[in-house]
A and B are shown apart, each in its own frame.
Chain A
Amino acid sequence: EIVLTQSPATLSLSPGERATLSCRASQSVDSYLAWYQQKPGQAPRLLIYDASNRATGIPARFSGSGSGTDFTLTISSLEPEDFAVYYCQQRSNWPPVTFGGGTKVEIK
C-alpha cells in the first residue's frame, strides 16, 4: 500500500499570503496524484488531478506540481474561502486508493 505523508499538519497564514503544501509518497506514483479541499461539514472538492491539472471551476491561484514521490499544492494568494483542510490522493497503485493525512490551512 502506498502511504502519502502530508506536511505540515497545520499551516498558519494570513489572507494574501502564499501557501505551499507538500505530499510525499512512499513509492513513485508517477503523476497520478490529486488534491482535494474540504471545509467543515462539507464533502471534499477536487482541485487538482494528475499532479498539475486544475479541475473544472477551480481558480487559477491553485496549482499543483511534482512527479514520482514529491508533490506540491500552491495557493498563490490566499482568499478567505481557502482556509480549509487539504488532502492528497494517489491512484497509481490501487487498490487501495490512498489519501494523505491532510494539511489544515488556518488563519494566522
Chain B
Amino acid sequence: QVQLVESGGGVVQPGRSLRLSCAASGFTFSHYSIHWVRQAPGKGLNWVAGISYDGSNEHYADSVRGRFTISRDNSKNTLYLQMNSLRAEDTAVYYCARELYTSDWYPSFYYWGQGTLVTVSS
C-alpha cells in the first residue's frame, strides 16, 4: 500500500537549518509530483512547496521562497525539504503529500504522510 513517512523534525533555534525527508513506498515515486504542506499548532493548512515528478520544476510559497528548497531523489524514493534561516512562524507539522494523478501537475492530494513537527524556538 502507499506510504509516505516523514522524518527530520525537531526543535531548532531561530536562524538555524533543518532538513526534512519523506520516504515513499507502494507506488512509482518517479511518476508523481509531490508537495509539502504545513500546519501550525491549532491552525489551518498551508501549502509550502511542490516539485515535479522528475525534479525539473519547483514551486514555493512566498513565505518560504529563498529560504526553503524542495528536492527529490527518485533513485531513493525520497523527497526532501531543506529549511534554512528558520523563523518562529515556521513552527508547524510538515506533511508530504502526493498528487492524485500522474500528470505534469495535479495538486489535489490523495496520499499524505503522518507529519513531522518542527519547532523553532530559542
**Residue ranges of A at the interface with B (Cβ–Cβ < 8 Å):** 34, 36, 38, 43-46, 49-50, 55-56, 87, 89, 91, 94-102
Which residue of the partner chain B has the closest CB to A42?
Answer: B114
**Known A-B contacts A43-B113, A43-B115, A44-B112; A99 and B46 likewise in contact (beta carbons under 8 Å):** yes
What's the minimum C-beta distance from A56 to chain B, rounded to whole angstroms? 8
Cα–Cα distance between A96 and B49 once the two chains are bound (Å): 8
Q: Choose one: A43, A45, A46, A100; the contact of B100 (CB below 8 Å).
A: A46
Interface of B is mostly: strand
Cα–Cα distance between A36 and B47 once the two chains are bound (Å): 14
**A94, B107: Cβ atoms under 8 Å?**
yes
What's the minimum C-beta distance from A48 to chain B, rounded to whole angstroms? 9
Which residue of the partner chain B has the closest CB to A6?
Answer: B44
> What residues on B are CB-neighbors of A43 within 8 Å?
95, 112-115
> What residues on B are CB-neighbors of A99 within 8 Å?
44-47
Q: Which of B44-75 contact A (CB under 8 A)?
A: 44-47, 50, 59-62
**B60, A46: Cβ atoms under 8 Å?**
no
